[in-house]
Structure 1
Amino acid sequence: MRMVLTALLLGLSVPVGAADAPLLTSHLRIHDPWVVAEESAKTYWLFSKNDPAVTGDKRLGIMAYASDDLAHWQRPKLVFALPEGGWANEGGWAPEVHQWKGRWYLFATFHNDRAAIASTGKRPLYRRATLLAVADRVDGPYTLIHRGEPPTAASDMTLDGTLHVDAAGKPWMVYAHEWMQTGVGTIEALPLKDDLSPAGRPRLLFRANEADWVVGQKQPEGDTGYVTDGPELFRTKTGTLLMLWSSWGKDGYVQAQARSKSGTIAGPWEQLGPLVERDSGHGMIFRAFDGRLMMVLHRPFKRALAKFYEMRDAGDRVEVVREAVELDGEAWPTHGCPMETKDAGC
C-alpha cells in the first residue's frame, strides 16, 4: 500500500490489482458482458447493467468494473444514468463502449412496456431500442446524444446495437430486430452518419432460422419465436468479416458465429455454427494486453457469470483454444454435458 500511495503522489500509473481489487471474476453477476482493454492505462473495463446492490446507486444505468488482470476487479462505479423524462424507463441491457472520432460512445438497450407500438399479432409490442451516449473517458460519465432518441425507428422493436466501421471508414449500427415483432428475429444493419445518426434505411443481414442449430421457442400466443441476440463484428487477420451472435439451441443459449462471403456488411452471411453451447452466449472478442485473443460471454442465462475463453484467429473463422479457468476457477465445457452431469446421461 505504501508503494501505491507513493506512486499516486508522484503521478505514476498504478495497476488496478495493486490498489484495491477485492472482487474475483467468479463474484461478478454479469449479463451481456463487454470488455474494453484500455491500452494507455493497462486497465480492463467490464461493462454491465447497473446493480444497485454493488454500486450503491439506485439509478437505472450502466456500471463498469476495472481490472489489470481479468481475475481481480475493483468495485464497480456507475458510468451512465438514464435521465428521467425520456421515453425509456427500464432496461440497461447489452452495454457496449466503442471509440469513434476521438471520443467514447456507449450503446445500451432500454425499453418501456407502456410505450405501445403498433402490433399486427396477438402479442402487445412496445418501444425497445439501443440508445447512444458519449464521454471523453472510457469510464464516463456518459451523456445521451440525439436527445435520447435511438438511431432505429420508433416503430421497430430492436435491441443489442453494436458499432461496425466498414473498410471505407463509414459507421454502421448492427442490431437484432426483436422476434416479438417479427416472429423470426433478424440481424440488421443501419448506415450511420459521422454523428451516429441514421444515414439511410436498415438492411436485412440474416434471419435466426437460417442457422440449423437454432431452436424456436413456443409462445403462449400459440406461435414459435426464433431469437437473435448480441451481434458483434470481428475482422480476422486475413480480412474475413465475422459476426458473433446468439440464440437458443437444443441445450439452452448458444454462442455462435457467422461469416460474410463478400467480406462486407452486405454479406451474404453464412452460418458457421456454435462456438460455446449449453446455456452460454452474448459474447464479444477483445485483445488482451499480452496479445492473446479473448472472448467473454455470460453463462448460465439465469444468475449469469462472466466467462473468459482464449481464442484463435484461424483466418476464416475464430476458434476456442481453451477455457481461461485460471480467471474464475471453474471448468465449463464448450460442448456436451456440464462436468457435474456427464455421468447422468444428459
Structure 2
Amino acid sequence: MNVYNAASDVANLGSGHKLADIPAHDPFVVADGATQTYYLYTGGSPRLNGMDRYGVLAYKSQDLLNWEGPYVVFTIPDGIWANPQHGAWAPEVHTYNGRYYLFVTLHNNDRKLEGEGHGGYRLHWRGTVIAVSDSPEGPFELVKQEAPIVPAHLMTLDGSLHIDEEGSPWMVYCHEWVQTADGTVAAIRLKADLTDSDSEPIHLFSGSEAPWDNGNHPQDEAKSMYVTDGCQVYRTSGNRLIMLWSTYEKGSYVQTIARSTTGKLEGPWEQLEPLVFDDSGHGMLFQTFQGDWMMILHSPFRMPESRCKLYEMTDTGNSFIVKSARTDLDSGQIENAIE
C-alpha cells in the first residue's frame, strides 16, 4: 500500500512531525480541554496513508508545533450507502452532550442522481454522515448507515454542526455547484440526538453573492458556475453570527467570511472581505488553551502538496480578522515523499 512520507504512515506512528510534513486537506482542530491536547483531523486514503480504504486521521499536539500520529479514528465500513474506495472529505469533530461527533463527507460514484451535472461532472450520491465516539481519538461509529443526513437526492458536502440560540442542533452544509451551477450554503435542523435530519433544508446564500467575480464562465456552458465550500459558523464576543466559507478568484482558492445581519442562522447573510487569498481555504476557528483565536486552513488546494497554515485571529466583536500568519508554527522544510 502507498505511503507518501513518514508523517503519513498509519502503520508507523511517529512524533515530532511538523505541519510542513503532513499532507492535509480540509483541516479541523479540536482543543480538548480535558487532556490539554490539540487534535488535528484530516482525511486518510489508500493513496497516501497505507490504508485499505478511505477514512479519517488524527494527529495530536500539546503546542501546535510538534505533532504525533497519524491515528486512524474512522474508516468507511462495508455495507453502508457510501463506497469505502470513493473518498472521505472535510472531517470535523464536535463535542455535544458529553460525546464527540464526527461529521465527514462520503461518496458513492456508482449511485447516480437524475439530471446532468455542470462542468463535465456526473451527479452521484455525496453527502455528510455523522459518527459518534466517547473519545476524540475514536473509534467513531455511524449513527445512520442507509443514507447521508441531508436528503440523498441533493448532492451536498462539508456538513458542520451549529447550535442555535434555543439550543437546537443544525447541520450547515454546501450544496454542490455540480448540481446547482450556482453553489449554495444551506442548513437543515437535526434531531436532538443527531441521528438524522428533522426539517426540510433552508437556503442561506449562494456562491455568486461573493463581493467579487468568483465564477467560472465557460463559453460552452449555459450557466456560470460558483463554488461554495467549507462553511463554519461562529459567534463573536459581540454576539454577531459569522460564517467562514471558501470559493475561488480567477481559479485560485479563497478563504472568505460572511455575517448574518440578524444574528440568526436564517440570515440574511452579508458577504465581507476575504480573509486569505493565495490558493488557501476551507478554514476553521479554534481557541488555544491560552484563549487566543486561531484559524487553520489548507494551502495550496492540490493534494498531496496541500499543508495546514495557521493564522492568529482577532475577534473585533463584529467579525474576525487576521492578526498575523503563524509561520513559526506551520513553516519548515517539507519532508520529501517516499520514492
TM-score (ref. length: structure 1): 0.86
Q: 1:258, 1:141 → 2: CA distance?
A: 34
2:202 corresponds to: 203
Tell me, which stretches of 5 or more residues in structure 1 are unaligned?
1-18, 331-346
2:89 corresponds to: 93
Q: Deviations over 1:206-262 (max 9, x none)?
A: 000011224212459624310000000010001000000000013610000000011
Paired AA for residue 163 in structure 1? L
Deviation at 1:121, TM superposition (A): 5.7
Deviation at 1:112, TM superposition (A): 1.4
Deviation at 1:53, TM superposition (A): 6.9
2:243 corresponds to: 243
Is 1:304 matched up with 2:306? yes
Residue 18 (structure 2) aligned to one of 15, 18, 24: 24
8 A Cα contact 1:45 1:66, kept in partner: yes
1:83 corresponds to: 77
Residue 108 (structure 2) aligned to one of 112, 137, 144: 112
8 A Cα contact 2:117 2:178, kept in partner: no
Residue 133 (structure 1) aligned to one of 131, 134, 144: 131
Residue 170 (structure 1) aligned to one of 144, 168, 171: 168
Aligned partner of residue 232 in structure 1, secondary structure: strand
What percent of counterpart residues are identical? Answer: 45
Aligned partner of residue 26 in structure 1, secondary structure: helix
CA spacing shift, 1:221–1:36, aligned 2, 3 Å:
farther
Residue 188 (structure 2) aligned to one of 169, 187, 190: 190
Q: Deviations over 1:41-74 (max 9, x none)?
A: 1111000011457754322110100111111111
Aligned partner of residue 275 in structure 2, secondary structure: strand
1:10 corresponds to: none
Q: CA RMSD in A?
A: 1.8
CA spacing shift, 1:31–1:169, aligned 2, 3 Å:
same
Higher relative helix content: 1
2:28 corresponds to: 34
1:61 corresponds to: 55
Aligned partner of residue 15 in structure 2, secondary structure: coil
Aligned partner of residue 42 in structure 2, secondary structure: strand
Q: Deviations over 1:180-201 (max 9, x none)?
A: 0001000001011112211110
Paired AA for residue 294 in structure 1? M
1:216 corresponds to: 215
CA spacing shift, 1:53–1:298, aligned 2, 3 Å:
same
Q: 2:159, 2:255 → 1: CA distance?
A: 17
Tell me, which stretches of 5 or more residues in structure 2 are unaligned?
1-12, 333-339
Deviation at 1:147, TM superposition (A): 2.5
2:98 corresponds to: 102
State the 4+ residue runs in structure 1 displaced beyond 6 angstroms: none
